[in-house]
Amino acid sequence: MTIHKEGYKTIAICAFVFALLNLGSFYFISFDEPWLSWLIFLISLALLLFIISFFRVPSRKLTVNDNCIVCPADGKVVVIEEITDEEYFHARRIQVSIFMSPANVHRNVNAIGGEVIYSQYHRGKYLVAWNPKSSTENERHSIVIKGNRGEVLVKQIAGALAKRIVNYLSVGQSIKQSEEMGFIKFGSRVDTLLPPDAKVKVELNQAVQGGVTVLAEW
């Protein structure tokens, strides 16, 4: 397991606060109230470890298969439905949404390999991620990848806690399946818009892993 580069600054700040807090506790509280000093240490250590866990990148055997579309994020499948996409395709598509809790891995990966043909950042609200309107009204970044078998749109969507979306792809870039696409700080939601004839391989409430679990087949 490694720590994602997006976490370096946040973890450094939290570690600095942790050190200051516990030094102050040691000098001003520990002599009279040692139990309180220990309590402060344990709570602040738990919070620091939790922050570090936000930015973990576990070692995994990734799925690379031209016949498959992989999950772009870790989390739980909360939506599988047919919709009319108004952003890019302007046609019917199957939407599969993955909710990322604060406990999930927050790195996002490419659902398929191919060429990035669309990249658009949208300003918006910060509705809770399970609100259906979050797909179209929240801050989000949309990417369309054109592969050998078709095109897939992936949306990184901000939520009530996630206030920063990072996307590393650009139009014209050639990318590989399951490699890193971006990062959403502190969880939220990732939508994948599939062709209407795609065969969905996940179920509602299923826990999935980005770059590992097969989301659908062409």
Active-site residues, by number, are 188
Assign 3-state DSSP to the chain and report helix, strand, coil percentages, each to 5: 20, 35, 40
Angle at alpha carbon of residue 192, lines to 190 and 194, rounded to 5°: 175
CA distance 94 to 197: 8
The 3-state DSSP class for residue 10 equals helix
Is residue 191 within 8 A of residue 75, CB to CB? The reply is no
